[in-house]
């Protein structure tokens, strides 16, 4: 009985979220109350949805699917259903959906954005509702409806400030990319319908299709969902869209929207029976590529939000590495690989939503007060905004996968899964463990990138007036960040709290609802993580205590002096290392891939003038492939332009020629002459 | 009782011996150069002196600057609990601890470099940039190096996989072991900022890596950093010894003695390398580290081929 009612929470939450922006439409642009109504509805809807999701994940039996009383194509009723896998993705969605609405109250305040505030809140609700709908949809058409609701409202969210040309451009690129993805999904579901004869979503039987059809399905899903997930090289829309959207929208997009692509892959590639191991290897390799290239190009960025966007590509890579391992495990029938790979993959979905949400929201606080996204114009913000700085630090440590925070736990699962391929497998599969050093490289590069960001933005001295006069974000912006940071710490210290839910989701994916051996806690010493994490904090606390004790004993006050500049008496803020100079050596090391444009100072004359050094790295796919291709195409088609000069008599001539050509084509020549000349 | 004794032995080694190593290295370098050199126990004296000093803080710094030495030392000490010393077991060992070990070192690096940027000094930014850049190469090399004993032993526990070379694998897998030993030695030099990657005795801030990052730390904070650096050297030497000198004595006492002989020997080797080599140009350091990746990578490939 409880199960029957539990399925209603999420549809109710979807309805509330979808409606949350509508009352605001009837209020005046100057109304300051309407935003509170929308945020309140969003928060209430999120609480309801979270309650429903957790209820499904903690109860052992999934509620039966619920048939909706209408249908459109075919005779089957649309149905929605909940299982642990759907619920697992619903949690970060509702979390960020609610917290982002709260954050947007002051970040995108109606009085600061009178022309697009209402629009943003309306589509925020639609977007969250669309994603929740696709997560619980059990019918292809319903799934696509949710998918398009998400994709289109995200377009309106990205292009909120559509008076700016770069925002419009990013919006259009996003729209083209998302519709290319949707088109691929149409093909996917059409093929699915042809194979199974139904649009209800359930696994394909082993005897229903040959390897060719299944491979086509696999590739369609990989491309269609990969475009949304931002997998390299299909990520080209992502950096621009994330950078130019309002920051709480970037948090939602990076935190959960691109994860819908991951959900689609996990769900629908999981439908395909008896996958060959090469599929998993392909996913693993694209994961490694996305991870390494994503973080490399992140290092080259000097726009705070663009940099974070590239880190989404990196983290999608890590997620795909876990999923690839799980797919290989499924082909070779190794439950342990599946458990650790998919477990790490899913946990990283949560973790990335938490720390990337946190990072984007803290970046938003910075942008809100300084009005610039350029890292090299910031600096020293930790003094003016201590809360934001500390919270950003938590996110930065977490995203680098460092202990004792949550990023470490999920990367650890994936590492362990990859290491398990070393033995006792036949030697050929040990090559999979080459992904281990790749993951280590990703980790080290991410560390470089976040030391750069944290050091340049929050530490040192202000590099501009804007950074000089920064102020702390208001409480309604700090509270969501604080909650996300707390969750990062909690998952890092007490991972055994989430593993039962992970086990359930993995069991759903494997179609093995109750398998006692599929228990992450059995294979990973999670209790020790708690012990070590707590010991870490206690130990660090003890050392700090001793430190202050010894300082007091040493005779009181610590003296404050200017930074030692090796004898130079008047250092200025301009002498600090900038983000460009910090990563210059690394860019040089990877110049073959990054191809940075360096603007070097000219130091020729005896008395050099004012000089500056800066680097710029292009987007590898958009700037280097797609745009040149587009220019080439438009050049080719430009050659056809002389025949289209807007003269009506020329067009009449074309019509005549076309008619003659058609006549020649359809009739034998003799018959034509006969018609024309004999009467 | 026996395990308690072993843990105590491990802790004493971990806490007390490390400052000896830089002393030995400096003594060897001095002797090789025909100088008398500082006493072997010099770092102990320095640490005691620094512990009683006041601190001068830069006006630019925030709490990150003070937190960095504390976090780094804590991370290194916990990492030190996972590495077995000689043929003794490690006090803290569990499945997958090798990942935690590497990431604890990375945590220390995050905070040390962040603290360097906290001062707003160009020199310290330079040091931090070099440190993280070189770490991007040494970290994959370290993982490659650990993959080899992991493959040989089939274990995912640092203590077990490092003991794998003890059981007669020199005969079966000599080539990979030699390659990995060379690779690990390069990693050891690079991670601890020794010649040929970094010269701890250089007099010019422009050419430093580690020393320049901690220019502004003083008093007990500097003491924590120096102590932490010696512990890092000690841990990585212990790790290296497992691959380079997989010998075992018959009795526990013999094993303890063996370890206490091997460890200074490693320091002597590092000292000799420093005496006969000059520091590489900064732009050539990546080639050395890539060589380390190749050594360890080829070792792994030889093993799984």
Q: What is the mean pLDDT of residues B41-48?
A: 95
Whole-model pTM: value is 0.94
Distance (Å, whole) CA B107 – CA A2: 46
Domain of residue B177: give its range: 41-304
Q: What is the mean pLDDT of residues B63-92?
A: 93
**B287–chain A Cβ distance below 8 A for any pair:** no
Q: What is the mean pLDDT of chain A?
A: 89
Q: Look at residue B34 and tell me if it is in a domain.
A: no
Q: Of A536, A554, A565, which has the smallest distance from its Cβ to B78's Cβ?
A: A536
Alpha-carbon gap: A582 to the closest alpha carbon of chain B (Å): 5
Which of B50, B58, B134, B143 has the highest number of chain A CBs within 10 A, making it the mutation to test binding with A? B143
Predicted confidence (pLDDT) at residue A76 exceeds the cutoff of 80 = no
**Contacts for A552-560: CB closer than 8 Å, 24+ residues apart:** A553/B52, A554/B52, A554/B53, A554/B54, A554/B55, A554/B219, A554/B220, A555/B54, A557/B54, A558/B54, A558/B55, A558/B56, A558/B57, A559/B54, A559/B55, A559/B56, A559/B57, A560/B56, A560/B57, A560/B58, A560/B59
H-state helical runs in B119-218: 122-153, 158-162, 169-172, 174-191, 210-213
Alpha-carbon gap: A443 to the closest alpha carbon of chain B (Å): 8
Q: What is the mean pLDDT of residues A479-492?
A: 96
Predicted confidence (pLDDT) at residue A3 exceeds the cutoff of 60 = no
| CB within 8 Å of chain A, chain B residues 39-58 | 51-58
Q: What is the mean pLDDT of residues B256-275?
A: 93
Q: What is the mean pLDDT of residues B42-61?
A: 91
Q: Look at residue B218 and tell me if it is in a domain.
A: yes
Q: Which residue's structure tokens are 């950078």?
A: A243
Q: What is the mean pLDDT of residues B168-197?
A: 86
Predicted confidence (pLDDT) at residue A319 exceeds the cutoff of 90 = yes
pLDDT digits (tens, 9 = 90+) for A86-120: 999 999 999 999 999 999 999 998 888 888 888 99
Burial of B235-273, coded b for 16+ CB within 10 Å and e otherwise, reads bbbbbbbbbbbbeeeeeeeebbebbeebbbebbebbbeb
Name chain A contacts of B295, Cβ cutoff 8 Å.
none
| CB within 8 Å of chain A, chain B residues 139-158 | 139-144, 147, 150-151, 154, 156
Label residue B43 by pLDDT band (50, 70, 90): very high
Q: Of A393, A444, A528, which has the smallest distance from its Cβ to B136's Cβ?
A: A444
A382:B62 CB<8 A: yes
Pairing of strands A614-616, A597-599: antiparallel
Q: Look at residue B36 and tell me if it is in a domain.
A: no
Q: Look at residue B35 and tell me if it is in a domain.
A: no
Q: What is the pLDDT of residue A182?
A: 96
pLDDT digits (tens, 9 = 90+) for B123-145: 899 999 999 999 999 999 999 99
Overall number of domains in chain B: 1
B151:A379 CB<8 A: no
B128:A577 CB<8 A: yes
Predicted confidence (pLDDT) at residue A607 exceeds the cutoff of 80 = no
Q: What is the pLDDT of residue B261?
A: 92
Which of A540, A545, A578, A583 has the highest number of chain B CBs within 10 A, making it the mutation to test binding with B? A540
Which of the residue ranges A17-21, A446-450, A579-583, B203-207 would you say has the lowest mean pLDDT? Answer: B203-207
A450:B110 CB<8 A: yes
pLDDT digits (tens, 9 = 90+) for A174-214: 999 999 999 999 999 999 999 998 888 888 888 888 899 99
Q: What is the mean pLDDT of residues A368-383?
A: 92
Label residue A424 by pLDDT band (50, 70, 90): low
DSSP string over A183-247: HHHHHHHHHHHHHHS--B--PPPTTS--HHHHHHHHHHHHHHHHHHHT-TTS-TTHHHHHHHS-H
Contact (Cβ atoms closer than 8 angstroms) between residue A478 and residue A388: yes
Q: Look at residue B87 and tell me if it is in a domain.
A: yes
Residue A139 DSSP symbol: B
Q: Look at residue B12 and tell me if it is in a domain.
A: no
Contact (Cβ atoms closer than 8 angstroms) between residue B199 and residue B208: yes
Predicted confidence (pLDDT) at residue A342 exceeds the cutoff of 70 = yes
Name chain B contacts of A535, Cβ cutoff 8 Å.
78
Name chain B contacts of A576, Cβ cutoff 8 Å.
120-122, 125
Q: What is the pLDDT of residue A629?
A: 93
Which of A389, A459, A462 has the highest number of chain B CBs within 10 A, making it the mutation to test binding with B? A459
Predicted confidence (pLDDT) at residue A523 exceeds the cutoff of 90 = no
Label residue A1 by pLDDT band (50, 70, 90): very low
Q: What is the mean pLDDT of residues B41-70?
A: 92
Angle at A11 between CA A109 and CA A62, to 5 degrees: 130
Q: What is the mean pLDDT of residues A136-165?
A: 93
Alpha-carbon gap: A267 to the closest alpha carbon of chain B (Å): 29
Distance (Å, whole) CA B274 – CA A49: 63
Name chain B contacts of A408, Cβ cutoff 8 Å.
100, 103
Q: Look at residue B168 and tell me if it is in a domain.
A: yes
Name chain B contacts of A383, Cβ cutoff 8 Å.
62
Predicted confidence (pLDDT) at residue A457 exceeds the cutoff of 90 = yes
Q: What is the pLDDT of residue A2?
A: 47
Q: What percent of chain B has pLDDT over 70?
A: 97
A539:B78 CB<8 A: yes
Q: Look at residue B14 and tell me if it is in a domain.
A: no
**A421–chain B Cβ distance below 8 A for any pair:** no
pLDDT digits (tens, 9 = 90+) for A236-247: 999 999 999 999
């Amino acid at each position: 009985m409880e199960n029957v009612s539990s399925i209603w929470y999420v549809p109710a939450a979807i309805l509330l979220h979808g409606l949350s922006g509508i009352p605001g439409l009837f209020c005046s642009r100057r109304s300051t109350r309407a935003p509170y109504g929308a945020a309140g509805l969003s928060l209430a809807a999120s609480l309801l949805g979270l309650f429903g999701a957790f209820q499904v994940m903690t109860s052992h039996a999934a509620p039966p699917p619920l048939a909706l009383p209408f249908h459109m194509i075919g005779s089957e009723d649309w149905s929605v259903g909940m299982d642990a896998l759907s619920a697992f993705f619903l949690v970060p969605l509702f979390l960020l959906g609610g917290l982002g609405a709260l954050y947007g109250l002051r970040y995108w305040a109606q009085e600061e954005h009178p022309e697009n505030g209402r629009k943003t809140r309306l589509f925020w609700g639609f977007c969250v509702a669309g994603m929740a709908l696709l997560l619980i949809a059990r019918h292809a058409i319903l799934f696509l409806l949710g998918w398009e609701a998400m994709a289109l409202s995200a377009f309106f969210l990205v292009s909120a400030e559509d008076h700016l040309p770069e925002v419009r451009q990013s919006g259009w690129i996003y729209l083209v990319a998302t519709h290319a993805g949707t088109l691929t999904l149409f093909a996917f579901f059409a093929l699915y319908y042809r194979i199974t004869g139904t649009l209800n979503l359930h696994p394909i039987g082993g005897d229903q299709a040959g390897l060719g059809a299944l491979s086509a399905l696999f590739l369609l899903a990989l491309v269609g969902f990969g475009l949304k997930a931002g997998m390299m090289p299909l990520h080209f829309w992502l950096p621009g869209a994330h950078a130019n959207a309002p920051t709480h929208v970037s948090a939602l997009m990076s935190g959960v929207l691109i994860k819908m692509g991951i959900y689609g892959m996990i769900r629908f590639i999981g439908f395909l029976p008896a996958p060959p191991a090469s599929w998993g290897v392909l996913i693993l390799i694209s994961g490694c590529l996305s991870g390494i290239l994503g973080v490399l190009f992140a290092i080259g960025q000097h726009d705070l939000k663009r940099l974070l966007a590239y880190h989404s590509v990196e983290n999608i890579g890590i997620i795909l590495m876990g999923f690839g391992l799980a797919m290989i495990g499924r082909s070779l029938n190794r439950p342990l690989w599946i458990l650790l790979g998919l477990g790490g993959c899913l946990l990283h979905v949560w973790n990335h939503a938490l720390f990337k949400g946190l990072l984007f929201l803290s970046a938003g606080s910075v942008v809100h007060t300084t009005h610039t996204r350029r890292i090299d114009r910031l600096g020293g913000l930790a003094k003016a905004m201590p809360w934001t700085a500390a919270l950003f630090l938590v996110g930065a440590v977490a995203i680098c996968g460092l202990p004792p925070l949550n990023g470490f736990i999920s990367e650890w699962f994936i590492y362990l899964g990859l290491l398990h391929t070393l033995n006792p497998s036949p030697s050929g599969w040990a090559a999979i463990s080459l992904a281990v050093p790749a993951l280590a490289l990703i980790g080290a590069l991410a560390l470089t990138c976040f030391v750069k960001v944290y050091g340049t933005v929050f530490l040192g001295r202000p590099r501009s007036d804007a950074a000089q006069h920064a102020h702390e974000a208001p409480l309604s912006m700090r509270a969501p960040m604080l909650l996300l940071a707390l969750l990062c710490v909690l998952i890092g210290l007490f991972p055994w709290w989430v593993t039962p839910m992970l086990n359930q989701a993995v069991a759903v994916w494997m179609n093995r609802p109750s398998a006692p051996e599929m228990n992450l806690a059995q294979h990973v010493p999670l209790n020790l993580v708690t012990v070590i994490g707590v010991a870490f904090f206690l130990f660090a606390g003890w050392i700090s205590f001793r430190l202050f004790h010894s300082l007091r004993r040493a005779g009181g006050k610590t003296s404050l002096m200017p930074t030692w500049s090796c004898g130079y008496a008047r250092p200025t803020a301009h002498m600090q290392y900038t983000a460009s100079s910090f990563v210059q050596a690394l860019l040089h090391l990877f110049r073959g891939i990054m191809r940075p444009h360096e603007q070097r100072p000219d130091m020729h004359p005896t008395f050099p003038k004012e000089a500056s050094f800066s680097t710029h790295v292009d987007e590898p796919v958009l700037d280097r492939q797609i745009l040149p291709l587009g220019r080439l195409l438009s050049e080719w088609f430009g050659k056809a332009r002389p025949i289209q000069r807007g003269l009506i008599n020329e067009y009449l001539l074309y019509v005549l020629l076309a008619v003659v050509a058609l006549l020649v084509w359809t009739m034998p020549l003799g018959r034509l002459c006969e018609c024309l000349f004999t009467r | 009782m026996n395990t308690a004794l072993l843990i105590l032995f491990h802790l004493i080694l971990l806490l007390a011996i490390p400052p000896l190593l830089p002393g030995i290295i400096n003594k060897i370098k001095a002797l090789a150069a025909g100088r008398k050199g500082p006493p072997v126990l010099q770092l102990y004296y320095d640490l005691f002196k620094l512990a009683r000093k006041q601190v001068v803080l830069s006006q630019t710094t925030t709490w990150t600057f003070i937190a960095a030495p504390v976090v780094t030392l804590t991370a290194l000490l916990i990492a030190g609990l996972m590495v077995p010393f000689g043929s003794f077991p490690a006090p803290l060992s569990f499945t997958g601890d090798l990942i935690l070990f590497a990431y604890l070192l990375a945590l220390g690096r995050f905070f040390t470099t962040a603290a360097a940027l906290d001062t707003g000094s160009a020199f310290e930014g330079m040091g931090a940039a070099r440190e993280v850049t070189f770490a991007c190469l040494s970290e994959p090399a370290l993982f490659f190096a650990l993959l080899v004993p992991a493959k040989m032993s089939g274990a995912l526990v640092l203590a077990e996989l490092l003991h794998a070379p003890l059981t007669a694998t020199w005969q079966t897998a000599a080539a990979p072991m030699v390659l990995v030993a060379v690779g690990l030695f390069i990693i050891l030099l690079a991670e601890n900022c020794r010649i040929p990657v970094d010269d701890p005795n250089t007099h010019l801030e422009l050419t430093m890596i580690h020393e320049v990052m901690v220019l502004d730390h003083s008093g007990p904070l500097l003491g924590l950093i120096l102590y932490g650096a010696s512990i890092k050297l000690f841990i990585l030497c212990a790790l290296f010894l497992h691959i380079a000198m997989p010998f075992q004595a018959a009795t526990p006492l013999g094993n303890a003695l063996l370890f206490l002989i091997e460890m200074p020997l490693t320091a002597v080797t590092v000292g000799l390398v420093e005496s006969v080599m000059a520091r590489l140009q900064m732009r050539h350091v990546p080639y050395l580290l890539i060589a380390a990746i190749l050594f360890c990578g080829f070792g792994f490939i030889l093993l799984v081929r």
